[in-house]
Amino acid sequence: MSDYVIKVEGLGKKYLLQHQAAGKRYVALRDVLADKAKSLFQKRKAESGKRKAVEEFWALKDVAFEVKPGEAVGIIGRNGAGKSTLLKLLSRITEPTTGRMRLRGRVASLLEVGTGFHPELTGRENIFLNGAVLGMHRAEIKKKFDEIVDFAEVEKFLDTPVKRYSSGMYMRLAFAVAAHLEPEILIVDEVLAVGDAQFQKKCLGKMEEVSTNQGRTVIFVSHNMLAVSRLCSRTILLDSGAISAHGETAQILRHYQAVALPQQGRRDWPVIESAPGSNVCRIRRIRAANEAGKDIGTVDVTAQFIVELVFDVLVGGHSLVVNFHFFNEEGQCLFVAQDLDPAWRTKPRPAGRYCCQFVVPGNFLTEGRLSIGGAITTLAPFYVHGFAQDAIGVVIEDACNPQGARGDYVGPLPGLVRPLLATSTEYQPVAANTMLAHV
């Protein structure tokens, strides 16, 4: 018998989508009752324009994988890929249409804010209620009670009905209960995004502890690639309800970002009505170029390159500032660059076309794929007039030659950036018998 805690075989979930008949804006209760009555006395006939068309939609189809005890597995994919449907099946909130799944041990799920909580009960009562749902005895829950309250940081509101909690308080208590009541399987959806950055970090640390130190299984769904890479050793990529890729997390994230991030080093908006912006200005072009001005999609790590934004000011009289946003493959913002030339920060731009260029120095960024977006804003008051997120993509490559940024070293270098800093080493002759003395 194989060593697994979750085993999924040929899992599928089908929904029936009903489309309104032409000319009918909504279905009232009287229409439903009339249809039911008619069906008792006459055969149904397909009448174009009078009946609702029913379409099959497979949210998941032929999904299969295994998870071993103590593993932390990430599930990623675009919106609508089937991630939440898969978690609902694993949590037994809904039943699969096809296939089967085997889960060994108690399952604690955190799929949305307030899952498993009764709004009229207090925080204290909901802790015991959740524990009872998980099959724990009252003595077990009392043993963990103080840890849960301390982790959730809701001691002051413990005897307040949870319907009066903010979404952040709701989530903190729900996660604390799910993580501390010792389930064999912990399932967490994107709900952690509700919390502040400090508590998200705290939750990730707790999930690491649950998986690594306590040998429990964690299934984690998130759009935060950094969180997935930190927590999960293995990741499943879903696409249109099927598994597109499955393997080691770093490899799957690279594959996902290579598909998700823009592939071209130039993007134009020839039609001004479709260009990002407002009635004040419109972005017309964003591109990456080498020093000769030629469009590029790849650049060596040692070479500098130019990012350019062309925009039209339709209504003059605004002090507009150009911004660039640089993101890496994990979705982490490397830096933001702004045109803070005082001539434009304080001087309103007249109507016309502008071309703004930023120079990215060589030996500054590490290798990998960059996603670059541009924006046009005013600073006082701050307002975004035009924003093109992930407009272009540039690949930073390292030839690993002896004269390159690594010298003779050919191994990987960690870090988000790789600046070539000025160095200075001075030789000071010191007698061997004095080297043990303090400097």
pLDDT at 288 > cutoff 90 = yes
Supply the pLDDT for residue 46: 47
pLDDT at 243 > cutoff 50 = yes
Instruction: Please state, rounded to an integer, the average pLDDT across all residues of the chain.
Output: 82
Supply the pLDDT for residue 436: 64
Q: Distance between CA 262 and CA 256 in Å, rounded?
A: 12
At 148-205, the pLDDT tens digits run: 888 888 888 889 998 888 877 887 888 888 778 778 888 888 766 656 677 777 888 8
Q: What is the DSSP string of 117-176?
A: --TTSBHHHHHHHHHHHTT--HHHHHHHHHHHHHHHT-GGGTTSBGGGS-HHHHHHHHHH
CATH of 6-12+62-259 among 3.30.70.3270, 3.40.50.300, 3.90.1280.10, 3.20.20.70: 3.40.50.300
At 32-43, the pLDDT tens digits run: 677 666 666 655
pTM to 2 decimal places: 0.63
Pick from 109-118, 249-258, 346-355, 366-375: least confident: 109-118
Supply the pLDDT for residue 405: 53
pLDDT at 280 > cutoff 60 = yes
Supply the pLDDT for residue 285: 96
pLDDT at 45 > cutoff 60 = no
Domain 266-397 has CATH 3.30.70.1060: no
Strand order in the sheet with 298-300: 298-300, 382-397, 368-379, 321-327, 333-338
Q: Domain residue spans in the chain?
A: 6-12+62-259, 266-397
Pick from 60-74, 122-136, 311-325, 359-373: least confident: 122-136
What is the average pLDDT across 67-93? 88
Percentage of the chain with pLDDT > 90?
Answer: 28
pLDDT at 30 > cutoff 80 = no
What is the average pLDDT across 209-233? 84
Supply the pLDDT for residue 429: 84
CA terminus-to-terminus distance, the chain: 63
* Maximum distance among all Cα pairs of the chain, rounded to whole angstroms: 110
Pick from 186-190, 351-355, 398-402: least confident: 398-402
SS3 state at 221:
strand
Cα–Cα–Cα angle for 109, 143, 138, nearest 5°? Answer: 70
Pick from 122-126, 224-228, 364-368: least confident: 224-228
What are the start-end ranges of the H helices in 43-97?
A: 83-90
What is the average pLDDT across 266-277? 92
Q: Distance between CA 106 and CA 184 in Å, rounded?
A: 5
